[in-house]
Structure 1
Amino acid sequence: MVRTLGFILFVFLPLALAGCGAADQGNNVMSDAELGNAADPAITSALQDQIMVDPQLGRQANGDAIRPPNGPQSGGLPSDAVAANGSKADTAGLLKAPAPVAGKPCPECTAARESVTLGGIAARQSNARIKGCAGALKYSAAWANRLPADLPLHPQARVIEAAGAEGACALRVASFSTPQPLQAMLDYYYTKAVRAGYSAEHQLDGAQHVLGGTRARDDGAYVLFLTARRDGGTDIDLVANNGR
């Protein structure tokens, strides 16, 4: 009898304990509805919102095609015309830049032609303040917004690279392009320079035009290197001190 009773306890006691455990576990498990109510509202909203799809990119996915795409997805940069003011620029009141001086040595032209970086161009300028600060240049596109107030970026400029240095000279260097033709950019910066009290000399080195000058009252100096683009626009490198 004792052996029988022991056998019964051996068989049914673990089952009873397991049942209790299952009951306790069932009481502690939250339903899906309860989980939904306890979740972060922001997460719940994000999960339930519809997925937004760009149809232009969706067509490039080629997900339902049997064959692979003919080429990689387009990652090209937009045209320079996609800039401030679109393709329009205010040219009213601009002075006409003089023709380039012929037969005169152009050290700035040589400096630009033989330099690899904006810092290299600045280091080879004849102005002592610009040349002395070239070694302290730090590169960042933000420097393009701190050019001298009287020699700013053109309204349609697309900045490619820029650098600047703090200190006595406040050196600023910027490389940018515009959709405007070369002559229009020469006229624009010639007008800005002359009206701000700078001298302005125009020189030509092959296909590259150079416009530069100085201002005696504050030892200001600038030089621009302009080259016509195949698309009708202009590539420009600008070096100037007395930046903002």
Structure 2
Amino acid sequence: MSITTRSIISLASLSLLLAACGEKDDTRNLSRLDAELTTNTSDPALAEALEGPIASDPNLKGQSNRDAVRPSDKPLNGAVPAKLNPKQARAEALKLAGGKLMQTPMATKSVTATKQPLTLGEKAARDEQAEKCGTPQVRYAMDWAGRMPAAFPVYPGAHVTEAAGVDKTGTCGLRAVSFNTAIPANEVMDFYYTMARRAGYDAEHLEENGMDVLGGTHEKSGGAYYVSVKPAQGGGTAVDLIVNGGR
């Protein structure tokens, strides 16, 4: 199965994470999951979360997740390379990807969302609740960016703008991060597509509100990932990445 965006986590991310913790069906794809979940009238809150975009909320104002905390001033660990120029960033990404990048397939679907955005904490909390992993405790802290699974690191040299996570084991754990990079969107997509496929995840490419979205699941582990990519204000690329599991 596979994936869909907004500004940090979206419809597709929830679809994927739900699929990762629910029944496994090799015939299910992202488009089908989107259709099933967005027409789930038995759970209005879930339907709203699925249809709603995400907004960055660094000040944590007006959020429904009472367990969220403010970002810490702790520096990122070595898992997130700092201040690399584009040439260095590309070289590091190529190294992480095994020396060669695969080309991301063309988008299989284009969708448009009109709902008001949710904050990162709100979206992550709803994702976690949907997975039935207990009451989530979403924590905002920049060091979550250094605790991404090895298959889905922050792009080398990127500037992290927001990060959050749920500190649980297995697929009940959650890592979410927003970052900007000077690398073009298509190269970022190719990097994450390559990383996902080489780690045993499936992948689907969608377009949503003019943004590119990539996502999929891992059949054996039940893991899931979601990446949204769009042009950043002032140049470069803005990326939102969410995945269950992590360090």
Q: TM-score range by the shorter chain?
A: 0.5 to 0.7
Deviation for aligned residue 1:118? 1.4
Cα gap change, 1:194/1:128 in structure 2, threshold over 3 Å: closer, same or farther?
Answer: farther
How far apart are 1:230 and its partner, in Å? Answer: 4.6
Distance (whole Å) between structure 2 residues aligned to residue 159 and residue 133 of structure 1? 28
8 Å CA contact 1:193–1:199 kept in 2: the answer is yes
Separation in 2, partners of 1:211, 1:94: 15
Aligned partner of 1:98 in structure 2 is 105
Would the aligned equivalents of 2:211 and 2:228 in 1 still touch at CA under 8 Å? yes
1:224/1:237 contact within 8 Å kept: yes
Structure 1 residues 178 and 138, CA gap change in structure 2 (3 angstroms): same
Query: Higher mean Cα deviation, 85-94 or 214-223?
Result: 85-94
Using the TM superposition, give the Cα deviation of residue 216 of structure 1 relative to its aligned residue in structure 2, in angstroms.
1.4
Residue 221 in structure 1 maps to residue 224 in structure 2: yes
CA distances 1:11-34 after superposition (whole Å, capped 9, x unpaired): xxxxxxxxxxxxxxxxxxxxxxxx
Secondary structure, aligned partner of 2:160: strand
Name the structure 2 match of 1:136: 137
1:213 counterpart SS class: strand
Larger Rg belongs to = 1
Tell me if the contact between 1:199 and 1:213 (Cα under 8 Å) persists in the aligned partners.
yes
Alignment-derived partner of residue 159 in structure 1: 160
- Mapped to 2, the partners of 1:178 and 1:133 lie a distance apart of 35
Cα distance change, pair 160–242 in 1 and its aligned pair in 2 (3 A):
same
Q: Which residue of 1 aligns with 2:244?
A: 241
- Which has more helix, going by share of residues? 1
Counterpart CA distance in 1 for 2:84 and 2:213 is: 26
Structure 2 spans left out of the alignment, 5+ residues: 1-81
- TM superposition shift of 1:156: 1.6
Secondary structure of the structure 1 residue equivalent to 2:118: coil
1:99 offset after TM fit, Å?
A: 0.8
Shift of 1:214: 0.4
In the alignment, which of 166, 174, 179 is matched to residue 176 of structure 1?
179
Whether the 8 Å contact between 2:129 and 2:135 is mirrored in structure 1 is: no
Higher relative contact order (CA 8 A, sep 6+): 2
Aligned to 1:37: none
**Partner Cα separation in structure 1 for residue 134 and residue 242 of structure 2:** 12
User: Runs ≥4 in structure 1, deviation > 4 angstroms?
Assistant: 123-128, 131-134
CA RMSD across the alignment: 2.7
Say which of 187, 192, 204 aligns to 2:190.
187
* Equivalenced residues, count: 157
Q: Contact 1:127 / 1:221 at 8 angstroms: preserved in 2?
A: no
Q: Residues 124 and 227 (structure 1 numbering): CA distance in 2 closer, same or farther, change over 3 Å?
A: farther
Kindly state the Cα deviation for residue 164 of structure 1 after the two structures are TM-superposed. 0.9
User: Aligned AA for 1:235?
Assistant: A
Percent identical across equivalent pairs?
39
